[in-house]
Structure 1
Amino acid sequence: MKWILLLLLWQAGAAVPRSNTPERQFFLYQRSVVPTAAGQNCAVLDAATFEHAAPALRDLRLFAQTAQAHEIPYAITLSEPVQPNVDPARVFNRGTKSNKITFDLAMPHRPYTEVVLDLGGRDYIASATVTGTEKAGETAGTRLGEFTLFDLTSQRLSRSTTLPLQESSFPYLHVELEVSPAPGARHLQFSPSMVLGATVPPSREAQTIFAPAAETSTITQRGRQSVAHFRLPQRVPVERVNFVLAPEYRSNFSRNVSIVDYASGTPASAGETISGNIFRVHVNQAGRDIHQQRLSVPATLGSNLQSSAEVEIAVNNGDDTPLPIAAVQLQMRQRRLCFNASSTDPLTLFYGDPTLTAPEYDLARTIQLGGQTASARIGPEQRNPIYMERPDTRSITERNPELVWVALLGVICVLAVIAIRSSRHLSR
């Protein structure tokens, strides 16, 4: 029995060790990385990096191309946004109408999703009705919603003066404020002078940068559906599906989209389904133009797990003519490899050694990206010309755990023979 316990303990300790000592000859893939300036640089990582690197990119290593080939610390950032400045919105036409405060806003020439009003006064609750217009001074247009604003300072609660709009690009907004004293506050009088100004933060959509993960222009018709199919490599993240239409197509439409993904080799019913909608509305109603469209669907797919995946995207056309889809794109939030370069000398990025554990750099915890970050150029993926398999330093039983079970079965057979012989001896 002692032998059996020792063998079981032996096998339980037979784990595959990981290393944190990177050596260039043990990486299967490499790429050149060329800084464009001394100082902080960032290079965009593509889908092939995720496919061929270890899970969570833990084996990425950046080396200088010098005789010492020292390791360069890096940090990986997720979707570093384009951050336009917060723009002011000019307030004009302050007035009153039916006990409501009214005013207009001249908006910046870009899409926006929020407007932050600078309102004077305190202890109030206001209902703001917002209308988008094409001309200054108009009060009729596209209604964008009704929003609640408040200041509960005396109750030691918060204050909110933000209008959370859907993404819009109207040059002017007309706002009507119905203001009342907050519960418990004294009866207060509110006037147009409480509207001090307004600012417009960056659009929420503008704050996310997407990079291509996969693309196809092969669109097939299946009944009333236009279908695109992808085989997505393992570990490649996908967070959005984008549709590219033929440039000559100008019609309005609204189509539901179904996105199904499942692990390769399993039935489609074992996967997940994401629904969405794409549309275009370019119309003139009552002398006013409306221009809105959405050609992408947010879709965080399970395909970034540790297996390849099948992805099927179907556009439901109903009884309408199929959309002229030029391409369907799977997109991921942009990931960048950021590092500090002492010069513009080329570096080499290595990956493809699954035995490595993730590095721990101070830079990953302290990096602060600013406007001076340079864009490094990353070259095409190449196989490492000096690649060799990392030697397996495990014992023979660790490399071949089945030998433990063979030995264990042998011991059991020996014990069984001994037990049989002992029983025969005792029966005499």
Structure 2
Amino acid sequence: MRVLALMVVMLLNGPRMNVSAFRWQRTVHVPERAGVVCAVLDAEVFPKAEPALRDLRLVQDGEEVPYAVEESYDEESLRSGVTRPEDRSLYEVAAEGSVGAALHLPAKVPVERVAVEGGQGAVDVEAMAKPSLRESVRGELKNGVFPVTLGANLQKDAEVRIWAKEGRRVRLEMRRRSLCFTPLAGGTDPILYFGAEGLPAVQYGYARGFTLPTAVKMAHMGDVAANPAYRVNGVRDGLVWWKLMMAAVIATVFFVGMSGWMLRRAIP
């Protein structure tokens, strides 16, 4: 009966988060006495994660921590559906260099704006992921920036060149996206895992009801590192063990219940 009780407790508590299918990890350094915190998802995450960041999992002391991804936006641009040159969204640099130089844009990194230092007038943007996949966009710089969408649908690294009159330095910019969550009290710094091929997105109730506080503390992402626990089919292997244990619990409970029922019937 002790074994049965232990198995039932383990079943009710659920398994600890299995991280063996994730190739990459980053420690998220959380400030002290933090409630809701946010950490910027920079351009290093996108190439190594699944499309749309669907495989991001945040784990603290073996427990999965729910999160919401917040994207910076300008209310006027959002309302009109068109990104305005005077857009007030916050942006992060995806790549930068000289006008006309080849800028390396890693796969899956979304670019939503081009900024040209000292540039004015017409701007030409050319992105090439491979000889057969080339995209060219022409527009007008206003206040040194030009709204453009590149990279999100590119599943391979791309080479981007930008030409602008009198321009000197150029930047490919992505709208700021932040991972927001409430860390477990008294725990260690959580770890963000990603790079799990084929892993579907998870729908957290936390994200559906999330409202960003007026004053939110910022967490800091550590460097990208290889996950030492990674192995091919790791999550699947762990789930096989868990399913077998669940089947054993169900079979044991059924056997004990049937034995008791038969014993009661046998007693006059």
Normalising by the residue count of structure 1, what TM-score does the alignment of the two structures yield?
0.46
User: Matches of residues 54-69 of structure 1 in structure 2 within 5 Å?
Assistant: 54-64=50-60, 66=61, 69=62
Distance 1:40 1:385 in 2: 29
**Structure 2 equivalent of residue 53 of structure 1:** 49
1:28 to 13, 23, 26: 23
- Whether 1:358 aligns to 2:239 is no
Distance 2:41 2:120 in 1: 34
Contact kept, 8 Å, 1:232 with 1:303, in 2: the verdict is no
2:139 to 266, 276, 290: 276
User: Matches of residues 165-176 of structure 1 in structure 2 within 5 Å?
Assistant: none
- Whether 1:328 aligns to 2:210 is no
Structure 1: runs of 5+ lacking an equivalent = 1-20, 84-112, 114-165, 168-203, 220-226, 246-252, 280-293, 318-322, 395-428
- For residues 151-184 of structure 1, give each alpha carbon's deviation from its aligned partner in whole angstroms, at most 9, with x where no partner exists: xxxxxxxxxxxxxxx99xxxxxxxxxxxxxxxxx
**Structure 2 equivalent of residue 205 of structure 1:** 87
CA displacement at 1:376 relative to structure 2: 0.9
Q: Give SS of 2:162's match.
A: strand
CA displacement at 1:304 relative to structure 2: 3.5
Aligned CA distance change for structure 1 residues 349 and 392 (closer, same or farther; 3 Å)? closer
- Opposite residue 275 of structure 1, the aligned amino acid is R
Q: Give SS of 1:364's match.
A: helix
**Structure 2 equivalent of residue 71 of structure 1:** 64
CA RMSD for the aligned pairs?
2.7
**Structure 1 equivalent of residue 213 of structure 2:** 370
Distance 1:309 1:22 in 2: 35
**Structure 2 equivalent of residue 232 of structure 1:** 105
1:338 to 168, 176, 180: 180
CA displacement at 1:261 relative to structure 2: 1.8
Q: Which has the higher strand share?
A: 1
Distance 2:64 2:113 in 1: 34
- Opposite residue 19 of structure 2, the aligned amino acid is R
Q: Give SS of 2:126's match.
A: strand
- Opposite residue 27 of structure 2, the aligned amino acid is S
Distance 1:343 1:254 in 2: 51
Runs in 1 of length 4+ with deviation above 6 angstroms? none
User: Matches of residues 2-401 of structure 1 in structure 2 within 5 Å?
Assistant: 23-36=18-31, 37-64=33-60, 66=61, 69-79=62-72, 205-206=87-88, 208-217=89-98, 219=99, 227-245=100-118, 254-266=120-132, 270-278=133-141, 294-315=143-164, 317=165, 323=166, 325=168, 327-343=169-185, 345-390=188-233
- For residues 2-32 of structure 1, give each alpha carbon's deviation from its aligned partner in whole angstroms, at most 9, with x where no partner exists: xxxxxxxxxxxxxxxxxxx962122111101
Distance 2:222 2:216 in 1: 19
The total of aligned residue pairs comes to 213
Q: Give SS of 1:52's match.
A: coil
- Opposite residue 53 of structure 1, the aligned amino acid is A
- For residues 206-252 of structure 1, give each alpha carbon's deviation from its aligned partner in whole angstroms, at most 9, with x where no partner exists: 2x1111111124x4xxxxxxx1322322111000011234xxxxxxx
Aligned CA distance change for structure 1 residues 373 and 392 (closer, same or farther; 3 Å)? closer
Q: Give SS of 1:368's match.
A: coil
Structure showing greater relative contact order (alpha-carbon pairs closer than 8 Å, 6 or more residues apart): 2
Q: Which has the larger radius of gyration?
A: 1
Report the more deviating stretch, 337-346 or 36-45. Answer: 337-346
- For residues 24-55 of structure 1, give each alpha carbon's deviation from its aligned partner in whole angstroms, at most 9, with x where no partner exists: 12211110112224211110001110100011
CA displacement at 1:329 relative to structure 2: 0.8
Distance 2:123 2:233 in 1: 47
Normalising by the residue count of structure 2, what TM-score does the alignment of the two structures yield?
0.71
Structure 2: runs of 5+ lacking an equivalent = 1-15, 77-83, 238-268
Q: Give SS of 2:45's match.
A: helix
